[in-house]
Amino acid sequence: MMKRRQFLKSGALLLTAPLLPGCGDSSGPGRSGSSGGNLDDTGMDFPLVLPLPFAHGVASGDPLADRVILWTRITESTPSASQIPVDWEVSATPDFVSVLKSGTQLTEASRDWTVKVDVTSLSPATTYYYRFHAFGQTSIVGRTRTAPATMVEEVRFAVLACSSYWSSYWSGLGHLADRNDLDLVLHCGDYIYDFVDEDEEVRARKDIKDTAYVDYRDWLNLDEVRRRYALFRSDPNLLRAHQQHPWMIVWDNHDLSTGYGNELASDIDPATSTCTLDDTTRAFYEWTPTRPVKADGSGEFILVNDGSYPAPPDAKLIYRKLPYGPMVDFFGIDTQSNLPGYGLPVDASHLADGAPSLFGRQQFEWFTGHMVASQQNGVRWRVVNNQTWLAPVDIPDVVDGIPTPKLGISRWTDYAQERTLLCQTLRGDNAQSLRVRNNVFVSGDAHGNLGSDLIEDTALLSSYVSGLPVPNPRQGSTTINVPAGYLRATTAALGPISTRADSVGVEFAPSSMGRGGADELVTNALSLEPGNPLGVVGARAIELALITANKNVQFVEWVDHGYGIVSLTDERAIFEYWWQDKLTPESPDVLGNQMVSWAEENTSALPARFPDQIDSVIAHGMTVSATQGNRSAEPAPLDTALLNPR
């Protein structure tokens, strides 16, 4: 597997690269704390801002209309017992004057001392507060929210991906935590990272700075994967973002990495790695508030009603669906674990002539079947939590007969037949002959900001004209970010209307929570010093080339980083790109751009509105202006240790 620098120097750019894998040692998490069970030095030498035993805070996730998964972890230096009872409570108010639900769960080493409770019999579309007790200590209070069961005025959620602890101060996660109008946070994968990118040592254990050190190099075994989660989950902004919102998380390559071979100089012998896919998927389920699915590939949840730990029978399965009433179905998919490197058997018999599959037949049929059923059931929107850019965003390898360097940004470049079949199925080639409308793919992986119509391949380009590229009128978060990306300010109404009718949905990718973009790639490729403005200049040239060559792309920006906000109503979806400077703690939140997609065709509007197309709000006569949710839930109490970390 080629290392990234070598790959860049070979003349190709491939952001999603095959990933450079994993590694081992076995220290258990922790730091001296002021309270808890065994409070000696825990051997975790990174700062834990919250006291033991609840040093890794709380989290919640995968809400349904009547239940939600609650999470915490008991952190001690050495276990004080083979099993530790942890009490949990749920209340309608943050002061817990009235406790609605409560119980006790035993935790133990086999699940890395994590606690997961599937709290049942809750009311739909309702905000709840929760906390845990153990050793006479109480965790911070978490806030969560159940899914709606009936139509609501708005469903509002955040989107993020590629959250490398080492690459950013994660100001965006703090801003996300401060929002009181969100229903859910979607993480599109690369929730943790197997190794430090040598170009992104913003806070890469600078105190250690040793490429053989456990928190710097690839993980080598299950204990080290768990320790990596413990490191990431020691960050106060991430702790707050989990504290205040329920999350739905899918994994990507860095979460699953099993091998060894990062680009750091290291004396570690790769043969010492014992890390397997079972280890990384197991740790994912332990440390994320993810609801387990059945082992039969049906995507159906295992619903736990007795307060016991919801253990996945096969942790390698995560594809699932969260229904949010008539407004939206949230799908979580897995287009990573079927890649050849993991060695899983892949049934690609739904494709012709042995073409490779990212979904695998079972997941493909589950996904398309439930997408069609969702449309049939009258659900307004389908949102897909997706690892890697699905729409084509490439520079063709031959332009006017002249060979050019291939710019393959997504792994879908090599799986075009399955993408075509997916688009055809959504366009109506299915058992019900039903066109599935209003599909929103939210995507991670490429570390760039993208807004695109969703088409299957570049063969559609000749008839696909949606306007000319224009500079983004907004200034980005840094002074050299003018323009910040490129967008089209025209809509189909200014060209042949039918030219965009092939789109089967829209794709919204709000960059990465820190991991480097095209400016870093250019900086490396040209061997520039970090921060050389030519890196951004080169990135802008790539953006312009991409929006010119890919008419389905309506906005692309590949320098800024942050998260996205999506507001869904019966009428429209608004997509907001929120940016922060990743090199600066407590960096302000900047609304970088805003896009819109309409739910229904309206040709009497000026300009005309069509579903499954994404446009700049400016193209529809609107101004770029942050949306506000229609409710404001009282935040869970803010812990000063998280607001003012040492």
Rank residues 19 and 395 by Cβ distance to Fe ion and give the closer one.
19
Q: How far is the CB of 444 from Fe ion (least distance, A)?
A: 6
Q: Using CB under 5 A, pick the residue from 76, 118, 183, 190 that binds Fe ion.
A: 190
Nearest approach in angstroms of CB 189 to Fe ion is 7
Please, what is the minimum distance in Å from the beta carbon of residue 386 to Fe ion? 13
How crowded is the C-beta side of 416, counted as CA atoms within 13 Å?
13
162 binding Fe ion? (CB under 5 A) = yes
State how far the Cα of 303 lies from the Cα of 306, in Å rounded to an integer: 9
Min dist CB 230 to Fe ion, Å, is 21
Number of Cβ atoms within 10 Å of the Cβ of 12: 13
- Measured from the CB atom, the residue of 39 and 509 that comes closer to Fe ion is 509
Interacting residues of 86 by C-beta distance below 8 A, sequence separation 6+: 72, 74, 104, 105, 106, 107, 115, 132, 133, 134
Give least dist CB 515 to Fe ion, A.
5
In DSSP notation, 389-442 reads --S--EE-SEETTEE---EE-SGGGG-HHHHHHHHHHHTT-STT--PPP-EEEE
Q: Which stretch binds Fe ion (CB under 5 A): 344-352, 369-377, 509-517, 569-577?
A: 509-517
Judging by beta carbons within 10 Å of its beta carbon (0-12, 13-18, 19+), is residue 209 exposed, middle or buried?
exposed
**Closer of 162 and 346 to Fe ion (Cβ):** 162
State the nearest-atom distance from the C-beta of 15 to Fe ion, in Å: 8
The residues near 553 (Cβ < 8 Å, ≥ 6 apart) are: 391, 393, 450, 451, 452, 546, 547
User: Looking at residue 177, what DSSP letter applies?
Assistant: H
Chain residue at closest Cβ approach to Fe ion: 162
Residue 350 vs 411, nearer CB to Fe ion:
411
CB of 167 to Fe ion, least distance (A): 10
Pick the stretch among 301-309, 348-356, 401-409, 514-522 that binds Fe ion (CB under 5 A): 514-522
Note whether 559 binds Fe ion by CB under 5 A: no
Classify residue 81 by its DSSP letter. S
Q: Which lies closer to Fe ion via its Cβ, residue 250 or residue 328?
A: 250
Of 19 and 176, CB closest to Fe ion? 19
Judged by beta carbon, residue 411 or residue 551, the one nearer Fe ion is 411
Q: Does 518 bind Fe ion (CB under 5 A)?
A: no
Among the residue ranges 187-195, 256-264, 409-417, 619-627, the one whose residues contact Fe ion (CB under 5 A): 187-195
* Partners of 547 in the β-ladder: none
- Report the residue number, 197 or 329, with the smaller CB distance to Fe ion: 197
CB of 88 to Fe ion, least distance (A): 33
- Please answer whether residues 58 and 72 qualify as being in contact, where contact means their C-beta atoms are separated by less than 8 angstroms: yes
197 scored as a contact of Fe ion (CB under 5 A): no
Nearest distance from C-beta of residue 530 to Fe ion, angstroms: 19
Alpha-carbon distance 64 to 67, whole Å? 5
Beta carbons of 137 and 161 less than 8 angstroms apart: no
CA dist 94 and 239 (Å) reads 17
**Are 393 and 369 within 8 A, CB to CB?**
no
Q: How far is the CB of 191 from Fe ion (least distance, A)?
A: 10
Measured from the CB atom, is 60 or 523 closer to Fe ion? Answer: 523
Q: Which two tokens stand for residue 308?
A: 């016991």
**Nearest-CA neighbor of 88 among 73, 71, 72, 102?**
102
Nearer to Fe ion, 200 or 286 (CB): 200
Distance, CA of 59 to CA of 494 (rounded, Å): 47
Select the span of 61-69, 143-151, 159-167, 426-434 touching Fe ion (CB under 5 A).
Answer: 159-167
Q: Do 328 and 147 meet the contact criterion of CB atoms below 8 Å apart?
A: no
Whether residue 517 contacts residue 539, with contact meaning beta carbons closer than 8 Å, is answered with: yes
Interface residue list for Fe ion (CB under 5 A): 162, 190, 515
